[in-house]
Structure 1
Amino acid sequence: MTSRLTAKGAATRQRIIEGAATVIRERGLVDTTLDDIRAHTATSKSQLFHYFPGGREDLLLAVASHEAARVLSDQQPHLGDLSSWQAWQRWRDAVVDRYREQGPRCPLGVLTSELSRTTPGAQAVTRELLSAWQADITAGIRSMQDQGEIPASLDAEQAAAALLAGIQGGVSILMATGSLTHLEAVLDLGIAQLRTELSSPSVPYGT
């Protein structure tokens, strides 16, 4: 769809997606209707269905993709340059700040949960998000290995996977309780574990 749009059409479609994301963040998915989104974005019904032929499902999937991109962009530029321990700390703070601002309501989680019952597209959005996130963390670990700050014997992909799994667990607890404690703990201990790997390379990651 987007590949066939003119520059103006693509901009209009993106404006609708961003407007819909704003409404869903403010009201929640259950209380948001297409009429609400149309009113907020000053979009006619025919225009909405022109850009999203599948109606609500198409629009929500596009919003989910938008929210997934925000998860990563909110961590930049730190996530893309984990080349010093100071950079890792700045990334840690950016992640915590992001979820502190978001609070217990997770638009992406709500969207993918709603869509996963009807479309595999939502699962693809989540897979792509986690894959890109893990790849950046892995690249950061390898950068520190190249500098001799983390032993080369450490499996960078496995360590990144473990840290990301911990982050997701912390986010899930935040959604359930409103507390950032577990997210902060897993980031602090995960980074501390990476820093101590050099002095104890025989200790498996995560023990």
Structure 2
Amino acid sequence: MTRAFTRKGEATRARIVTGAAAEVRDRGVDEVRLEDVLARTGTSKGQLFHYFPDGKEELLLAVAQHEADQVLIDQEPMLSNLTSWPAWLAWRDRLIERYLAQGVKCPLNGLLGQTGRRAPGAQAIVTALMWRWQKAITEGIRHMQSTGDIAADVDADRAAAALLAGIQGGVLLLLSTGKIDHLQAVLDLTIDSLRSGARVTGGQERNGNG
């Protein structure tokens, strides 16, 4: 159950989470100590356990949620405004820029790898992130269908799901190889496919000549 805090309490909790997130990015999740978080955020041990009674594991789960939210925040305002092809290309560029800057170190992946073994909330964080991300892409596709820029018979939900799956695959390959090429390729080819009216259904590509 989510506990309610005062505005000041929410600000204190947010400061602790932000500081812990910075520690994770700087040191890696395995090296984070509560003492370092306290020093970085200027909070007492009593304050930390007031907001995170279960200690480090609960704090890391909150940091994972923070990082999941940041994935979408980093794509704004482009992700929420996929209303023209220039807007889609701007989103594509923002996504590439974000993951180039992140490189092979993914704090969210490290956090969920740790908390996933012990906290059932980890899967809920990933599920919610992917649902919100897919929903934004779906809304963009539907808007483009309303203006005639994407074919009306494209299944917006499935197309968004396929694009998101491609993005995740590209990110995984980036983490494995250090190369952004696969992510660039899936974004470029999928956007070109939507733009040309092509559609992918059940693993088979179909266009006006098929």
Q: Please indicate the TM-score interval, normalised by the length of the shorter structure.
A: over 0.9
Q: How far apart, in 2, do the equivalents of 1:129 and 1:179 lie?
A: 24
Q: How far apart, in 1, do the equivalents of 2:6 and 2:142 lie?
A: 41
Opposite residue 11 of structure 2, the aligned amino acid is A
The CA deviation at 1:206 is 6.5
Q: In 2 relative to 1, CA 72–152 (structure 1 residues): closer, same or farther, beyond 3 Å?
A: same
Residue 107 of structure 1 aligns with which residue?
Answer: 107
Residue 137 of structure 1 aligns with which residue?
Answer: 137
The CA deviation at 1:30 is 1.2
Q: How far apart, in 2, do the equivalents of 1:3 and 1:121 lie?
A: 15
Q: How far apart, in 1, do the equivalents of 2:23 and 2:116 lie?
A: 21
Q: How far apart, in 2, do the equivalents of 1:97 and 1:206 lie?
A: 31
Q: How does 1:121-200 map to 2 (within 5 A)?
A: 121-197=121-197, 200=198
Deviations 1:120-143 (A, max 9, x none): 101000000000000000000000
- 1:26 pairs with 2:26: yes
Q: What residue ranges of structure 2 are gaps of 5+ in the alignment? A: 206-210
**Matched position secondary structure for 2:57:** helix
Q: How far apart, in 1, do the equivalents of 2:121 and 2:179 lie?
A: 30
Q: How far apart, in 2, do the equivalents of 1:26 and 1:119 lie?
A: 23
Q: TM-score, normalised by structure 2?
A: 0.93
Q: How far apart, in 2, do the equivalents of 1:206 and 1:166 lie?
A: 15
Opposite residue 30 of structure 2, the aligned amino acid is V
- 1:58 pairs with 2:58: yes
The CA deviation at 1:31 is 1.5
**Matched position secondary structure for 2:154:** coil
**Matched position secondary structure for 1:68:** helix
The CA deviation at 1:97 is 0.7
The CA deviation at 1:40 is 1.1
Q: TM-score, normalised by structure 1?
A: 0.94
Opposite residue 178 of structure 1, the aligned amino acid is G
The CA deviation at 1:4 is 2.2
Name the % identity: 54
Q: In 2 relative to 1, CA 16–72 (structure 1 residues): closer, same or farther, beyond 3 Å?
A: same
Moved more, 169-178 or 38-47: 38-47
RMSD over equivalenced CA pairs, Å: 1.5
Opposite residue 182 of structure 1, the aligned amino acid is H
Q: How far apart, in 2, do the equivalents of 1:68 and 1:143 lie?
A: 25
Q: How far apart, in 1, do the equivalents of 2:204 and 2:161 lie?
A: 11
Number of residues paired by the alignment? 204
Q: In 2 relative to 1, CA 206–25 (structure 1 residues): closer, same or farther, beyond 3 Å?
A: farther
